[in-house]
Amino acid sequence: MKKIFRTTKRLISKIGLPPGTPVYMGEREREKIKISVIDYDPQNVTQKEISQIKECCSYQDKETVTWINIDGIHEAEVIKHIGKDFNLHPLTMEDIMNPGQRPKVEQFDHYIFIVLKMLSYEEEEKKVTEEQVSLILGKNYVLSFQEKEGDVFNPVRERIHHDLGRIRKSGSDYLAYSLTDVVVDHYFLILEKLGDKVEHLEESLTGGQDDKMLQQIHSLKREMILLRRSVWPLREMINSLERLESSLIQKETLRFFRDVYDHTIQVIDTIETYRDMIFSLHDTYLSTISNRMNEVMKVLTIIATIFIPLTFIAGIYGMNFELMPELKWPFGYFAVLGVMALVALVMVIYFKKKKWL
Amino acid sequence: MKKIFRTTKRLISKIGLPPGTPVYMGEREREKIKISVIDYDPQNVTQKEISQIKECCSYQDKETVTWINIDGIHEAEVIKHIGKDFNLHPLTMEDIMNPGQRPKVEQFDHYIFIVLKMLSYEEEEKKVTEEQVSLILGKNYVLSFQEKEGDVFNPVRERIHHDLGRIRKSGSDYLAYSLTDVVVDHYFLILEKLGDKVEHLEESLTGGQDDKMLQQIHSLKREMILLRRSVWPLREMINSLERLESSLIQKETLRFFRDVYDHTIQVIDTIETYRDMIFSLHDTYLSTISNRMNEVMKVLTIIATIFIPLTFIAGIYGMNFELMPELKWPFGYFAVLGVMALVALVMVIYFKKKKWL
Amino acid sequence: MKKIFRTTKRLISKIGLPPGTPVYMGEREREKIKISVIDYDPQNVTQKEISQIKECCSYQDKETVTWINIDGIHEAEVIKHIGKDFNLHPLTMEDIMNPGQRPKVEQFDHYIFIVLKMLSYEEEEKKVTEEQVSLILGKNYVLSFQEKEGDVFNPVRERIHHDLGRIRKSGSDYLAYSLTDVVVDHYFLILEKLGDKVEHLEESLTGGQDDKMLQQIHSLKREMILLRRSVWPLREMINSLERLESSLIQKETLRFFRDVYDHTIQVIDTIETYRDMIFSLHDTYLSTISNRMNEVMKVLTIIATIFIPLTFIAGIYGMNFELMPELKWPFGYFAVLGVMALVALVMVIYFKKKKWL
Amino acid sequence: MKKIFRTTKRLISKIGLPPGTPVYMGEREREKIKISVIDYDPQNVTQKEISQIKECCSYQDKETVTWINIDGIHEAEVIKHIGKDFNLHPLTMEDIMNPGQRPKVEQFDHYIFIVLKMLSYEEEEKKVTEEQVSLILGKNYVLSFQEKEGDVFNPVRERIHHDLGRIRKSGSDYLAYSLTDVVVDHYFLILEKLGDKVEHLEESLTGGQDDKMLQQIHSLKREMILLRRSVWPLREMINSLERLESSLIQKETLRFFRDVYDHTIQVIDTIETYRDMIFSLHDTYLSTISNRMNEVMKVLTIIATIFIPLTFIAGIYGMNFELMPELKWPFGYFAVLGVMALVALVMVIYFKKKKWL
Amino acid sequence: MKKIFRTTKRLISKIGLPPGTPVYMGEREREKIKISVIDYDPQNVTQKEISQIKECCSYQDKETVTWINIDGIHEAEVIKHIGKDFNLHPLTMEDIMNPGQRPKVEQFDHYIFIVLKMLSYEEEEKKVTEEQVSLILGKNYVLSFQEKEGDVFNPVRERIHHDLGRIRKSGSDYLAYSLTDVVVDHYFLILEKLGDKVEHLEESLTGGQDDKMLQQIHSLKREMILLRRSVWPLREMINSLERLESSLIQKETLRFFRDVYDHTIQVIDTIETYRDMIFSLHDTYLSTISNRMNEVMKVLTIIATIFIPLTFIAGIYGMNFELMPELKWPFGYFAVLGVMALVALVMVIYFKKKKWL
């Protein structure tokens, strides 16, 4: 449940503060914020770690494309400083520091603010965790904020360094697209994990080992509910990004964002498909339980219905009345055994006719 | 159920009256209406309680921003007087006094009328209550009407007094935003309470103590139904506020209202997520019951199916026929015991094969 | 079911007739049609019953506002005559006489045609009935048609006679609004009745007396289905009334229609809320039944599982074999009693562990 | 299932043919195609059967309104000939001959093509069948194609012959409307049949005779599913007909099409209402079964729980131990009977407390 | 499950690569790519297999319509070469090679890119498989890419060769339409298979042989879920194709695409209808199980309730008390038999009254 409450609890602690106050609302990280800068044009690339925040500012007006990546968002001072340098709106700064945002796009005079959710599957806990990634797309720079250090953007760094594809030849908008694309592509990893679980459940259902099945269906449903909650706003966000008529995004790059949009649609389609499957699975599981109950009841009924009347007959001749003529008959015992066999036979025929046997 | 009927009953008492008649339709409060005025510009702040209603009027044309807060809406005379002073439309006055409104925004020639619902969680009764807050946003004044005295607006008062954020430097539109923001932020408190309940139920489900679980699921569903009913119109309202092309709201302030809108979307998302979770929980709960029933039935069936045939065999040799050869056999008794053991064994093997044991 | 079929059956009897033929399709009323006229301007009011239909016509061109109310729509001749006098479209006349219309608004060259559904709760039969109210809004007259005589419009008459509110000072559009408003406000009476029933069911559910509960839930669901069917088109209708750009409705009056719209939204909200509640109630009811079944099964299983093995043991020692060593043991009887107690104890401990006891 | 497959199978046989090939895809009818022509203006009417297809063509350019009705669509040659004479698009000809179309409207340069579904209820088989009716609305002619001879258009013929309503005074657009109206009005007949069935089921539910109820609910659901499938596209179709800005349909006639639209909305409303009712009925039926099961279980449990312990006690004193002191007691028998009565009493009190009795 | 994962797994392998890299992501096929060219104008047709990829290019600027069909998309080099020759966008090339696309349409400067899904039913495995078909519609050429060699386009080839319909007289847009039409028409084959299965299940339900029914319903639901996932985007795609204002598609051809759109709507309608039917079927199936359980329980209850009390009576007189007066009565035995018959009779009457017999 942690994930849902993050949003709530953080926002509560904000009630009463003037809006636009940048206060970090995630769980406090102990490591220092790490700032790395990659500056490139078609000819050159330079990458370095920055210790003095002031250095950031100098990149703002360079002709080259500058990507400043900030890992860690817990030090209000640092964020504030960067916000001042790059002239960010107070609400933007507040949103960067509050990891409980929905994915969204906001257009400001001189920059576009993009909030993304990055999902990752934690193998140990077997559950999905989410991290907020904020991007500031300016004229020739991109700021990216991550909650904690991670290697998700490495493929993009590789492409810049080895000049793969068109990234070095394109502007900051293409860089922002590349970062968005990498984040969205990570959703497919989550989908694969979930797909495996659904497949596993499907097999359990037909295989018949359903010890923990109900629990698994329930927890899968919950994961799906939370995943949908992350993905739908992502779709809206990328859609509104496409419709944004901003000079910061070139027409050619829009086509690439359209491609990302297609991917989010695919993610949503797959989630909806899984969802439908899990619901169908639960229904089938319920029917299976009912069927088994039916089978159990039939066994009980057959046994009880055959033997209860027989036991009654035996009971009659176990009575101790002084005058019971049958008891004296020489073949009374065998006659009774015969009657019992007949009764049992009738019952069995009856059950055969009812198709219970 | 109280909350739903408030709307209905009050409106019934209105049938037949000419529309626009300001009649108080809430439960009658005994305390006197309390009017407090805060008047500020970037340099100065003055705050005072007002006893004579006439005094209100004088603030209307001052250059400074004036915030008149009215606690209590049950005295038709007072509301009528204020309405006349500030030239309010009869329907506005009627709506202010009738707490059964949906959240909405209405644009009039010289003011914007905003109706909000404030939710609070009553610890003793463990349920959510709602209160209507009406705002009148004029050129350089804001009127706020609350059903009863409360401290919800205190953070805003603090900010004005201590000149925090941009509130003192901004106009009446920013004040209206601040009040709306405070009300919406209170929804997160409610969500946290509900989240705790959902979490608690999730744990009960796996833990297995489900004495009152059904009751709790049902009451949680009801709270969710009522909460949705409050929140959806809030969203529409803030959305239509954004689209209002009014000279009373400056472009810069619109961005802040957009921020409030994002918050309401988050509230709705969370409610929908909780809702889905509760439904999934109920389904799982039902399956759990079915599973248990199945288990109970199996125990019964196993016991009955093993012992009923055995009892029948014992019954046979309890019959009192004179001629029953087996009774005379020296090892008849032990032979029968052996047969019984065999029958029991066959049954147990059968159940093992069926995986009931 | 009557209500649903009204529409169907009436329209069937029309198949084959040229469209626009005014044929009365309701159940034939025996009373004569009653026509009453109220004619007013800010200074004067005159009210009278009309016997000669021709008199109606004379009011059409007067400067004053004229409200002609026709109770009863079963005499084709009368309706035809009025239709001719006021130059109504044949389809309008047909719709007035056919009470199976959906609420709708139609704009014609010189008048606006409004169809409303009036709901009332019949105490004896404990069910909701509906009546069609048609309004013709002309330049300075309003025609209102009711299926049968009723007192629903009395509050409006009062307001005209006693010059309450702005009705006397306003035109025919305000009069049409007042009549619509009165009809819509009656929906809240129905909602109150339904709310009482829902509340009653909620209490029954926790109280536990559920003799007729299922029947009540089912009939409440049906009433809700029928009510929704009436109210949704009402909403569309008032919405399209608002968007009508007609010179017959002044801008100021539109605000009042907006108020009626808000009321219909409130009605719909409440119906949807009730609906959700009843579905939640039904689900909970079903779970309750399952729970009880479970409890019943447990009792049966506990009793049977404890006593069936004991009975079997007793059966063994009731056998009449000549050689049964135990029978001769001096404490055989007490030993067997002891074994039985032990078996019972083991079973009880087993059930305690399973939490069935 | 026949009805669903018609579409599918026919289209399959078409795969591979160039689009626009008029191939009859319905079940082959044996009768000859029958062509009848009605030609009228306000003064005159002439009606005749046509044997030579060429004759059709001559009517195309006459000033009078001509209605050519073709019963039977299975002879490709005839349809092709007509299509050539009236200059129809190949796709139109293909659609006319393929009865698996959805209701739709298509605008061509010189005509409007309308596809309708006519539903009729076959009394013998107790199910709904559908037939395709295609209309070609030209400048002063209407072509109507029916799958087989029928009397559905007779009321329109009557109106033309007896000059009822405005049909003789109006153009071909009004004739097309009249034919559409007649087809839509037939839906109400189907609704009445379905309504009767729903009503019958409602009564069965409370009456309690539910032998074939489940089967009936299921088949009613299926009919509703198929009906919805026919009606929703009809609505879209008439809606798009209204929005068609074609010189072939006069503004005055549009109002009549609006009336047909209102009727389709009513049909849809009624279907949705029935649908909701059947689902509610099914839910209630399921609850009823659960309730009965509960009752059955209670009876079993009460009987078993009272008598199993008693039988056990009797079993104890039926044991043949030599030393059983109670057997010798003078009032042992009566004491045991007393104990049994007591046990039974306790059980009964317990069940009373549990409200099972 | 294979089908769902295709998308996911392939896209995962792409993470980290610069977008627009054409990497084949389907399962690697062993056969060589096969390229065939048909070049035609109203007078002439030439068809040949191409071995040298360079030859393709020459057709690009010819006046005649050229259709280049590529079977197999696994050789990046070949696709890359063709892409270069025809000046395709890198994203287009990537999409052609990645079979996990959703059906879509993308407009580029000098061509339109269409992605389709072809469904086929594999008789052996009894399941639906899907294949991606990509079309490039240029000024006077069409490129078509299939995952593997197939005969689906043969009917179009036939039509070109034998000059059937308008295909030889029309441009490349009509050719693209013909290919799309053939693919969409194949959906009806799938629908027929599914329809047969639904029909078969319907019959099983009433017939009563439901051994594997639950499994079949579940697998049918899954197929339906996957089918819907393929078809809905197809609809959007063809819809957006219609709205594309491209000089590459002539107005006359748009009407034919409209016809394809109508077919996809029919496919969707049928799928939704089947879906509703399967859900209704599952519900009915569940009710049937409940009904049978009820019947089983009744049999058990009747037998147990009649015989358990009788056995108890027999048990009483099987007790060995020394003083049991009844045992000595001359007609005690027969009296007890009489009492037993009476008890049984009462029970039977009770069950008759309850309508359980």
Architecture of domain B2-286 in this structure? 2-Layer Sandwich (3.30)
The whole-angstrom separation of Cα B341 and Cα A277 is: 48
Sheet strands side by side (includes E112-122): E45-50, E34-40, E65-71, E141-146, E127-137, E112-122, E104-107
pLDDT at B345 (0 to 100): 94
Chain D residue nearest residue E153, CA to CA: D16
Strands (E), chain A: 34-40, 45-50, 65-71, 104-107, 112-122, 127-137, 141-146
Structure tokens at B307: 């012992």
Contact D333 E324 (CB under 8 A): yes
Contact D18 E164 (CB under 8 A): yes
CATH 3.30.420.40, domain D298-353, yes or no: no
Structure tokens at B201: 């139920």
What residues of D are in contact with residue E281 (Cβ under 8 Å)?
218
User: Is the CB of residue B7 less than 8 Å from the CB of residue B36?
Assistant: no
Q: CA-based Rg of chain D, rounded to a whole angstrom?
A: 35
pLDDT at D24 (0 to 100): 63
Q: D105-138 in b/e burial notation, b at 16+ Cβ within 10 A?
A: bbebeebbbbbbbbbebeeeeeebebbbbbbbbb
**Residue A137: strand, helix, or coil:** strand
Chain C residue nearest residue B1, CA to CA: C199
Pick the residue of E301, E311, E313, E356 with the most D CBs within 10 A to test the interface with D by mutation.
E301
User: Is the CB of residue A179 less than 8 Å from the CB of residue A211?
Assistant: no
Pick the residue of D154, D163, D316, D327 with the most C CBs within 10 A to test the interface with C by mutation.
D316
The whole-angstrom separation of Cα A144 and Cα A182 is: 13
pLDDT at E177 (0 to 100): 92
Element at C82 (helix H, strand E): helix C76-85
Flag whether pLDDT at B179 surpasses 90: yes
Contact D324 C333 (CB under 8 A): yes
Tell me how many residue pairs between chain B and chain C have CB atoms under 8 A apart. Answer: 172
Contact B282 C277 (CB under 8 A): no
Ranges of each domain in chain A? 2-287, 295-353
Which residue is listed with tokens 């019951």? B289
pLDDT at A142 (0 to 100): 93
Structure tokens at B354: 């069926």
Structure tokens at B34: 């309390």
The whole-angstrom separation of Cα C158 and Cα C43 is: 16
pLDDT at A205 (0 to 100): 79
Task: Give the lowest-confidence range in A14-23, A271-280, C30-39.
Answer: A14-23
pLDDT at E180 (0 to 100): 92
Neighbours of chain C (3+ CB pairs under 8 A): B, D
The whole-angstrom separation of Cα B80 and Cα A52 is: 62
pLDDT at A17 (0 to 100): 66
Structure tokens at C250: 């002044």
Instruction: Give D280→chain C minimum CA distance, Å.
Output: 7
User: Is the CB of residue A154 less than 8 Å from the CB of residue A233?
Assistant: no
Q: What is the DSSP letter of B29?
A: P
Nearest to C80 by CA among C41, C53, C50, C59: C53
Neighbours of chain B (3+ CB pairs under 8 A): A, C
Percentage with pLDDT > 70 across chain B: 90
Which residue is listed with tokens 């300016």? A138
User: Which residues have C-beta within 8 Å of that of residue A233, sequence separation ≥ 6?
Assistant: A102, A103, A104, B265, B269
Region B43-54: mean pLDDT is 82
Q: Give phi and psi for D149, each to the nearest 5.
A: -60, 140
**Each residue of B296-326: pLDDT tens digit?**
888 888 988 899 999 999 999 888 888 888 8
User: Is the CB of residue B277 less than 8 Å from the CB of residue A222?
Assistant: yes
Q: Which amino acid is at B182?
A: V
Q: What is the pTM of this model?
A: 0.82
Contact A297 B301 (CB under 8 A): yes
**Nearest by CB: B308 against A14, A308, A327:** A308
User: Is the CB of residue C302 less than 8 Å from the CB of residue C351?
Assistant: yes
pLDDT at A219 (0 to 100): 86
pLDDT at A81 (0 to 100): 85
Taking CA atoms, B7 is separated from B2, B98, B135, in Å, by: 10, 8, 20
Q: What is the DSSP letter of D171?
A: -
Nearest to C277 by CA among C205, C180, C325, C356: C205
Contact E287 D290 (CB under 8 A): no
In sign, the C-alpha dihedral spanning E199, E205, E207, E213 is positive
The whole-angstrom separation of Cα B356 and Cα B295 is: 9
User: Is the CB of residue B246 less than 8 Å from the CB of residue B112?
Assistant: yes
pLDDT at C180 (0 to 100): 92
The residue that leads in pLDDT, D11 or A230, is A230
**Each residue of B90-145: pLDDT tens digit?**
889 888 888 878 888 988 888 999 999 888 887 777 777 888 999 999 988 999 99
pLDDT at B19 (0 to 100): 65
In sign, the C-alpha dihedral spanning E70, E73, E74, E78 is positive
Contact D18 E305 (CB under 8 A): no
Instruction: List E112's β-bridge partners, or say none.
Output: E107, E137
Of A235-249, C12-26, E286-300, E335-349, highest mean pLDDT:
E335-349
Q: Which amino acid is at E47?
A: Q
pLDDT at C23 (0 to 100): 63
CA triple D184-D187-D188, angle to 5 deg:
110
Contact E214 A291 (CB under 8 A): yes
Region B53-66: mean pLDDT is 78
Taking the C-alpha atoms of A133, A138, A143 and A146 in order, what is their torsion angle to the nearest 10 degrees? -10
The whole-angstrom separation of Cα E187 and Cα E152 is: 12
Nearest to C189 by CA among B13, B81, E100: B13
Instruction: Count the Cβ atoms, other than its own, within 10 Å of residue E228.
Output: 19
The whole-angstrom separation of Cα A249 and Cα A247 is: 5
**Each residue of A56-65: pLDDT tens digit?**
777 777 788 9
Q: Which CATH number does E294-353 carry?
A: 1.20.58.340
CA triple E320-E324-E325, angle to 5 deg:
155
What residues of A are in contact with residue E100 (Cβ under 8 Å)?
266
The whole-angstrom separation of Cα C318 and Cα A318 is: 9
Confidence grade of residue A52 (pLDDT, cut at 50, 70, 90): confident
Which residues of chain D fall short of a pLDDT of 70?
A: 1-31, 207-211
User: Which residues have C-beta within 8 Å of that of residue D192, sequence separation ≥ 6?
Assistant: C5, C8, C9, C12
**Nearest by CB: B165 against A18, A317, A337:** A18
Contact B9 C256 (CB under 8 A): no
pLDDT at C101 (0 to 100): 82
The whole-angstrom separation of Cα E92 and Cα E104 is: 11
User: Is the CB of residue B269 less than 8 Å from the CB of residue A234?
Assistant: no
The whole-angstrom separation of Cα C146 and Cα C131 is: 8
One pLDDT digit (tens) per residue for chain C, 357 residues? 344 444 444 455 556 666 666 666 665 555 678 888 999 988 889 888 887 777 777 777 778 899 999 888 878 888 888 888 888 998 898 888 888 788 889 888 889 999 998 888 877 777 778 889 999 999 889 999 998 877 889 889 988 998 888 888 888 999 999 999 999 888 888 888 888 888 888 888 776 656 678 888 888 888 888 888 888 888 888 888 888 888 888 888 888 888 888 888 888 988 988 998 998 888 888 888 888 888 888 888 898 889 999 999 999 988 888 888 888 888 888 888 999 999 999 999 998 988 887
Flag whether pLDDT at E354 surpasses 80: yes
Helices D251-316, D172-207: axis angle to 10 degrees equals: 10
Structure tokens at A8: 């709530």
**Residue A242: strand, helix, or coil:** helix
Q: CA-based Rg of chain C, rounded to a whole angstrom?
A: 35
**Nearest by CB: C192 against B9, B14, B225:** B9
The whole-angstrom separation of Cα C285 and Cα A274 is: 30
Neighbours of chain D (3+ CB pairs under 8 A): C, E
The whole-angstrom separation of Cα B182 and Cα C319 is: 85
Flag whether pLDDT at A22 surpasses 70: no
**Residue D127: strand, helix, or coil:** strand
Flag whether pLDDT at A278 surpasses 60: yes
**Each residue of D331-341: pLDDT tens digit?**
888 888 999 99
**Each residue of D210-259: pLDDT tens digit?**
667 888 888 888 888 888 888 888 888 888 888 888 888 888 888 888 88
Instruction: List A143's β-bridge partners, or say none.
Output: A68, A136
Task: Give the lowest-confidence range in A146-150, A353-357, C49-53, E250-254.
Answer: C49-53
Fold classification of A295-353 is Methane Monooxygenase Hydroxylase; Chain G, domain 1 (1.20.58)
**Each residue of B253-281: pLDDT tens digit?**
888 888 889 889 888 988 988 999 998 88
The interface predicted TM-score of the complex, written ipTM, equals: 0.77
Chain B residue nearest residue A285, CA to CA: B287
User: Is the CB of residue C70 less than 8 Å from the CB of residue C45?
Assistant: no
Which residue is listed with tokens 């078609």? A42
Q: Which amino acid is at D178?
A: S
The whole-angstrom separation of Cα E61 and Cα C345 is: 96
**Nearest by CB: D8 against E191, E304, E320:** E191
Contact A315 E314 (CB under 8 A): yes
CATH 3.30.540.10, domain C297-353, yes or no: no
Region E328-341: mean pLDDT is 88
pLDDT at B6 (0 to 100): 45
CATH 3.40.50.12780, domain C2-287, yes or no: no
The whole-angstrom separation of Cα D37 and Cα D48 is: 5
Contact E314 A319 (CB under 8 A): yes
**Nearest by CB: D315 against C15, C311, C330:** C311
pLDDT at C310 (0 to 100): 92
User: Is the CB of residue E269 less than 8 Å from the CB of residue D8?
Assistant: no
